[in-house]
Amino acid sequence: MIRQAKGKTPRRPPPKKPSNNQKDPVGVYCRVRPLGAEDEECCIEVISNTTIQLHAPDGLKANRNGEFKETQYSFKKVFGIKTTQRELFEDVAKPLAQDLIHGKNGLLFTYGVTGSGKTHTMTGSPGQGGLLPRSLDMIFNSIGPYQAKRYVFKPDDKNGMEVQNQVDALLDRQKRDSQTSVPKTPNTRRVDPEFADMISPEEACKAEGVDEDSSYSVFVSYIEIYNNYIYDLLEETPFDPIKPKWNGAGTPVRNITEFIPPQSKILREDQNHNMYVAGCTEVEVKSTEEAFEVFWRGQKKRRIANTQLNRESSRSHSVFIVKLAQAPLDADGDNVLQDKNQVNVSQLCLVDLAGSERTSRTRAEGNRLREAGNINQSLMTLRTCIEVLRENQMCGTNKMVPYRDSKVTHLFKNYFDGEGKVRMVVCVNPKADDYEETLLVMRFAEMTQEVEVARPVDRPICGFAAGRRQRNQAFKEELTRRLEERGGPVDGDCPTVLNQLLQAFPPLPPCEISGPNDDVTLPRLIEALEKRHKIRQMMIEEYNKTATMLKSVLQEQDGNILSKENVIQEQRGKLGEKDKMLQNQKNEIDRLEKKSKMLEYKIDILQKTTNIYEEDKRSLQNELESREQRLQREMSEKRRIEARMQGMVSDTKLKWEKECERRVNAKQLEMQNKLWVKDEKLKQLKAIVTEGKTENRQPQRPSREKDKVPPKRSASPSPAPTGPPVRPLHRRSHSAGGERWVDHKPTTNVDLDTVMQPNIPNAIKVNAPNEKALSKCDKYVLTHQEVASDGEIQTKLIKGEVFKTRGGGQSVQFTDIETLKQETPVAASRKRRSSESGPDSEPMEGNWTDVETRCSVAVEMRAGSNLGPGYQHHGYTKRRKP
Ligand code: ADP
Ligand code: MG
């Protein structure tokens, strides 16, 4: 942006760089030129007014395994082969020229392969003027009548614009006129045959809304960038044969005496950070023709330089800069306001870029190769800059854009990071030979569309009342008319007002003097004239009075208008500030929205992370719980087993304690019984011995007794220690009177259904001996069954006496055993034999022992106990029951 500092009103300080946040993408247009020859292969098709389609040419397809490739590219607008220069101008350059007139900057460049029509589009040819001459024409058509006189605007050497006072401007004009070399501005369209018909007057167009209360001046510069050197094509180079000549690449040029190559220029940055070519010629031009003539001059110089320096024109970039200076007219509407701050400078750069092809179209060798490399470098930098810009804008990055890497990009830096309208016409030649290069051009062009450039802001309006120029013009016209009226003839078509005035005067008396003595006529005339003079004086006074009055009224009105305009201006300023504030707030909102989006995104991520963690936590907790449950289960299981084990241990312990006690008791009883039996035997022996002394048959008594007793009954030796042996039956009946018996019949006994059942009256019948029963009785009998050796069941009645033990318990002392046996006649002999063996000590002994053991068991064993040897014995007996 090349914008001189400027102000809103004369009273206000100029605003700082206006902040603008509206952006527009780079407008990319595509122009397809017609094929050079009809038989050429075509690789481009315009499929809509915004899209073209590229298809790989046949040769290329064959090279790539016959692969058929079609690609489409879309642009703001596509111009087909039939597009006229005017149509193109209307869409592409007219808005830029319009913007220029409204104080905004524009950049228009053509891009494409050599021969694709860049120069045709930009410059054109006679009868087919391109965008450049058309833009110039439109500018001059629009500002023509409002142009300032030459040298009123004067460029300073720092890319700024000054307003000269009228005297200095006049002097400069006179100096210019005196220099014959510079032709005076042609008032008519002077036609150079070389560029005749570049602009046809019937196609003239005009910008809208041109500020008539401003004064304008157009300055043009024309530069060429070749091999990354900048040359001023409008520079007047004086002939200097002594100085060595150098070409742009820094190598001396030999054998050139008549041609002085231009010196390269450098780029500088002005106070508004705009880049400009330092010391570049800026020619003030007053008409399209003059401007185009200057362009043509530069063009010629370029051509000469190219031939002289053996350069290839397609390798250079040409930049034509149209600068428009505008400043408001002063309050009278007469002259340009003498205030540099009020000058607004806008510029339109028309760039015809070098061919975009990667290698030189002609033979590239030596110097040329290096040049070609540099050209490529410039376009490459342009591509890189566009890429980085696009990336920065699309991704919000802040990468450094390498504008400084080439002069072309450096010069236009401000269009991209400042503000302005940027447009590009991509020129394409549909011929198949260019296919690959065209493909690259298309890619670059598509990418360029994605870059956005800040929209230039509207130029602030100056504080003066509008319509100053018109009023001034009208005033001047009126003045001239009046002056003409004054100096012109009064008769004939004399204005009616004057006639009326003249008629208001008293008529002149006849002025003819009748003779030398006529002293009437003259005095009468004098009187009339004096009268007239008096009226005239009065009229003048009246007129003056009215004039002053009118003037004061007008001035008052003017003042009113001015103050109202000031108020309006102030309001506008406020509005602007509010707008700015609004914009700032919008920006802030945007920023906050972005931030909130970012935060939302972060929250989302955190939420997700939290969810994951919670999920983990839950699963871990579940696992923990299940493990705890398992542990508890195991613990309770362990406790249960422990309890059971303890129970078992204590049970077993108790059992074994009881068992031990029982065994000890049994043993004790057994021992006591043995002792008793031995005692008894001893007594019997003693009795026998003593009886033997009195009666020898005593020892035979058992056998005798056996014979006497019915066969079913065999009596054991009486256990009674004293007295003669008593018949059991008798004794039982006898004892029924005084003794109490405990009749112990184990449940395991078999009912034999015989008469030999012991019948004891008044006995307490028990299945198992118990303390209670024993305590009530003094006699005890156990009915014991066992299988005898012959297989018969033998019942034994084991009798005893109950004693009270010292510990308060009961004990039984066995006194007698009766054996009851049922015998079949067959088995009788055997029975007898077995009973015959009765006196033998050994079997008897065994018999006793067996019975004793059983008795002790019967007495001691608890009912229901399934443990212990005694029971097993009983069980065995039971099983063997017939
Ligand atoms: P570049 O500047 O891209 O190298 P030019 O503008 O010099 O290409 O065009 C090469 C040739 O093609 C010129 O002779 C020009 O007249 C012709 N040409 C280019 N574009 C068109 C077009 N749209 N219509 C007719 N002729 C064209
Ligand atoms: Mg060209």
CATH number of residue 795's parent domain: 2.60.40.4330
* 600 located within any domain: yes
C-alpha 610, offset from chain centre: 18
The ligand 1 atom at the shortest distance from the C-alpha of residue 122 is 6
* 95 located within any domain: yes
pLDDT of 763 above 80 = yes
Ligand closest to Cα of 81 equals: 1
Do 450 and 561 sit in the same domain of this protein? no
- Position 718 confidence tier, pLDDT thresholds 50, 70, 90: very low
The ligand 1 atom at the shortest distance from the C-alpha of residue 123 is 6
Which of 277-286, 535-544, 750-759 has the largest mean confidence?
277-286
Query: What is the DSSP pairing of strand 344-352 with strand 317-328?
Result: antiparallel
Domain boundary pick from 819, 854, 870: 819
Q: How far is the CA of 230 from the centre of ligand 1 (A)?
A: 25
Both structure tokens of 578: 């509010």
471-520: pLDDT as tens digits: 888 877 877 777 676 654 444 444 455 555 666 666 777 777 777 787 88
- 746: phi then psi, degrees, rounded to nearest 5: -60, 145
* 503 located within any domain: no
Both structure tokens of 210: 């041109």
Both structure tokens of 611: 């969810």
What local confidence, expressed as pLDDT, does residue 720 receive?
42
Give the chain's domain count.
3
Query: What is the DSSP pairing of strand 810-821 with strand 713-715?
Result: antiparallel
277 and 267 Cβ atoms separated by less than 8 Å: yes
What local confidence, expressed as pLDDT, does residue 564 receive?
92
32, β-bridge pairs: 428
Residue 796, SS3?
strand
Q: Could you give the CA distance from residue 580 to residue 458 in angstroms, rounded to a whole number?
A: 13
Do 380 and 234 sit in the same domain of this protein? yes
Q: How far is the CA of 52 from the centre of ligand 2 (A)?
A: 23
Closest to 320 in 3D by CA, of 186, 420, 225, 435: 225
- Structural domain of 783: 741-746+759-819
- Position 135 confidence tier, pLDDT thresholds 50, 70, 90: very high
pLDDT of 3 above 50 = no
Domain boundary pick from 592, 626, 644: 644
Which of 53-62, 310-319, 737-746, 772-781 has the largest mean confidence?
310-319
Question: Is 573 assigned a ligand-binding role in the annotation?
Answer: no
What local confidence, expressed as pLDDT, does residue 695 receive?
53
Q: Could you give the CA distance from residue 111 to residue 353 in angstroms, rounded to a whole number?
A: 6
When mean pLDDT is compared across 77-86, 295-304, 536-545, 698-707, the lowest value belongs to 698-707
Which residues have a Cβ under 8 Å from the Cβ of 471 and sit 6 or more positions away? 333
Question: Is 690 assigned a ligand-binding role in the annotation?
Answer: no
Which residue has its alpha carbon closest to ligand 1 atom 24?
33
Counting residues of the chain whose pLDDT is more than 90, the rounded percentage is 37
Read off the DSSP letter of residue 401.
P
807-820: pLDDT as tens digits: 777 777 778 888 77
Return the sign of the alpha-carbon dihedral for residues 757, 763, 766, 771. Answer: negative
Domain boundary pick from 614, 644, 674: 644
Do 450 and 559 sit in the same domain of this protein? no
Residue 672, SS3?
helix
The angle subtended at Cα 102 by Cα 100 and Cα 106, nearest 5°, is: 30
Do 442 and 570 sit in the same domain of this protein? no
Q: Could you give the CA distance from residue 791 to residue 782 in angstroms, rounded to a whole number?
A: 21
- Position 831 confidence tier, pLDDT thresholds 50, 70, 90: very low
Both structure tokens of 624: 């923990």
742 and 802 Cβ atoms separated by less than 8 Å: yes
Read off the DSSP letter of residue 162.
E
What local confidence, expressed as pLDDT, does residue 242 receive?
42
* 490 located within any domain: no
256-292: pLDDT as tens digits: 456 677 789 999 999 888 899 999 999 999 999 999 9
377-415: pLDDT as tens digits: 889 999 999 999 999 998 989 999 999 999 999 999 998
Do 312 and 431 sit in the same domain of this protein? yes
What local confidence, expressed as pLDDT, does residue 514 receive?
78
Both structure tokens of 330: 């002063």
* 94 located within any domain: yes
* 49 located within any domain: yes
Which residues have a Cβ under 8 Å from the Cβ of 158 and sit 6 or more positions away? 268, 270, 271
Which residues have a Cβ under 8 Å from the Cβ of 747 and sit 6 or more positions away? 767
What local confidence, expressed as pLDDT, does residue 538 receive?
87
Do 116 and 231 sit in the same domain of this protein? yes
Which residue has its alpha carbon closest to ligand 1 atom 17?
117
Do 296 and 437 sit in the same domain of this protein? yes
What local confidence, expressed as pLDDT, does residue 111 receive?
96
Both structure tokens of 216: 């304008």
- Count how many residues are written for the chain: 882
* 334 located within any domain: yes
Residue with tokens 């945007």: 590
The ligand 1 atom at the shortest distance from the C-alpha of residue 32 is 23
Q: Ligand 1 pocket test: which of 29, 30, 32, 33 has the largest number of ligand atoms within 8 Å of its C-beta?
A: 33
545-598: pLDDT as tens digits: 888 888 988 898 888 899 999 999 999 999 999 999 999 999 999 999 999 999
- Tell me the average pLDDT across 769-791: 79
Question: Is 184 assigned a ligand-binding role in the annotation?
Answer: no
Question: Is 115 assigned a ligand-binding role in the annotation?
Answer: yes
Q: Could you give the CA distance from residue 706 to residue 717 in angstroms, rounded to a whole number?
A: 11
What local confidence, expressed as pLDDT, does residue 864 receive?
42
What local confidence, expressed as pLDDT, does residue 348 receive?
96
Q: How far is the CA of 422 from the centre of ligand 1 (A)?
A: 23
Counting residues of the chain whose pLDDT is more than 70, the rounded percentage is 73
588, exposed or middle or buried, with CB in 10 Å at 0-12, 13-18, 19+?
Answer: exposed
Do 201 and 312 sit in the same domain of this protein? yes
Q: How far is the CA of 116 from the centre of ligand 1 (A)?
A: 6
Do 444 and 559 sit in the same domain of this protein? no
100, exposed or middle or buried, with CB in 10 Å at 0-12, 13-18, 19+?
Answer: buried
Which residues have a Cβ under 8 Å from the Cβ of 182 and sit 6 or more positions away? 176
Both structure tokens of 698: 């005593």
- Tell me the average pLDDT across 447-456: 90
453 Rama class: left (phi>0) / alpha (psi -120 to 50) / beta: beta
Both structure tokens of 509: 């008396």
What is the residue-averaged pLDDT of the chain?
A: 78
841, β-bridge pairs: none
Closest to 1 in 3D by CA, of 326, 275, 406: 275
Closest to 232 in 3D by CA, of 318, 311, 106: 318
Question: Is 647 assigned a ligand-binding role in the annotation?
Answer: no
What local confidence, expressed as pLDDT, does residue 102 receive?
92
Q: Could you give the CA distance from residue 315 to residue 374 in angstroms, rounded to a whole number?
A: 9
305-334: pLDDT as tens digits: 888 888 887 889 999 999 999 999 887 777
207-223: pLDDT as tens digits: 888 888 899 999 999 99
* 354 located within any domain: yes
- Position 830 confidence tier, pLDDT thresholds 50, 70, 90: very low
* CA-based max dimension of the chain: 255
Do 441 and 565 sit in the same domain of this protein? no
Do 101 and 220 sit in the same domain of this protein? yes
- Tell me the average pLDDT across 782-798: 77
Do 239 and 370 sit in the same domain of this protein? yes
Neighbours of 853 (CB within 10 A): 17
Question: Is 117 assigned a ligand-binding role in the annotation?
Answer: yes
CATH number of residue 46's parent domain: 3.40.850.10
Residues with CB under 6 A from ligand 1: 33-34, 112, 114-120, 314, 355, 427
Residue 800, SS3?
strand
What local confidence, expressed as pLDDT, does residue 100 receive?
94
- 813: phi then psi, degrees, rounded to nearest 5: -110, 115
What pTM, to 2 d.p., does this model score? 0.56
Which residue has its alpha carbon closest to ligand 1 atom 20?
117
